[in-house]
Amino acid sequence: MEQNTKLNTILAQQIFNFSKLHLRKFIPGALIPSANQKQKQTTSNQKPIQKQSFNHLLNTMAAEKLEFLPLFEIFNNNHFTITVNFNIPKNDFLSTFHIPSFKPHVHKFNEWFETFFKSYQKQFTNINQQKVYNYLKFQIATKLADECKKLLPLEFQISEPNSLRNHLFQTNKKALHHIHTCKDSKCSILKNQEDQKHNYKNLSSYFFKQSFTTYSAPEKDTYFKAAAQNDNISELGLEQALEKTIVPTIDPYILARIILYYNIQSQSKFSIAQIKQSYEQEYLI
């Protein structure tokens, strides 16, 4: 038999690395470290200190939600009781509040359902396979959403943004938090808005506008100053800035952005469309 000297898949390598972290500290029969380990047992009903065992090791490892594992595991017994275990990527979810899509994992559900339904349908003389399929898939997707919502903090407040992108990210996250947690069928948060539909688009727009009452938008000069400092041209005129930049590079995109920067500075009002047009048709030549 040929000896295996390496793990052949990425998943196998990831599982091995994860297991190795736990096995390094695993000593069968050793006391399990705890906050109460050094305290004397002064009462007769105090639980004895646990010892390390393979069952405890497996339970500890299973309790951790690993992002490299499949999103869910599904199986059934002979009585057609269906069990679904979720492995929700907690850190990813809490960073965005976006519930993972079921769609990329539907092939796993399809494989299980094909085997499941062959046995399940024998109980009936007439059963609609598509209806059973749709119902089960909907129930799993709904359960996934419910399990994700259990991880949400009770509140989410927008902190002072450090950029427009961060501002948008936080207001979108605020909108998702409200959608996931609001249980009021007559929610009036959008009562003063033209479109009062309680959806992601309207809520994110509402929170974005509302957030400016707490954190005002930086002045135009603030953005310009930061951009100029990044390129070390804040104290230079246009000709000096171009001369300084042309020496190390002749990248036309960089030169066009510098010219555009000085052009915007001289304008009191401008639009994104105007900036794009000037950049592409006048300066990037």
Entry pTM: 0.57
* Domain-located, residue 106: yes
pLDDT of residue 76: 94
The DSSP symbol for 69 reads: S
**Number of domains present in the structure of the chain:** 4
The residues of the chain scoring below 50 in pLDDT are 1, 35-44, 223
Nearest to 240 by CA among 227, 257, 258, 223: 258
* Domain-located, residue 41: no
Say how far apart CA 72 and CA 102 lie, in whole Å.
Answer: 9
Element (H, E) at 107: helix 106-120
Element (H, E) at 82: strand 82-86
Exposure on the CB side of residue 37, measured as CA atoms within 13 A = 8
* Domain-located, residue 78: yes
Which of 149, 175, 204 is the last residue in one of the domains?
Answer: 149
* Domain-located, residue 100: yes
Q: How many residues does the chain have?
A: 285
* Domain-located, residue 165: yes
pLDDT of residue 131: 96
Say how far apart CA 186 and CA 88 lie, in whole Å.
Answer: 31
Say how far apart CA 51 and CA 63 lie, in whole Å.
Answer: 18
* Domain-located, residue 135: yes
Specify whether 115 is located in the same domain as 179: no
* Domain-located, residue 40: no
Say how far apart CA 191 and CA 207 lie, in whole Å.
Answer: 13
* Domain-located, residue 39: no
CB 93 within 8 A of CB 100: yes
Say how far apart CA 92 and CA 66 lie, in whole Å.
Answer: 11
Say how far apart CA 87 and CA 65 lie, in whole Å.
Answer: 5
Say how far apart CA 213 and CA 190 lie, in whole Å.
Answer: 16
The DSSP symbol for 87 reads: -
Specify whether 243 is located in the same domain as 279: yes
Domain that holds residue 269: 220-283
CB 264 within 8 A of CB 238: no
How far is it between the farthest Cα atoms of the chain? 86
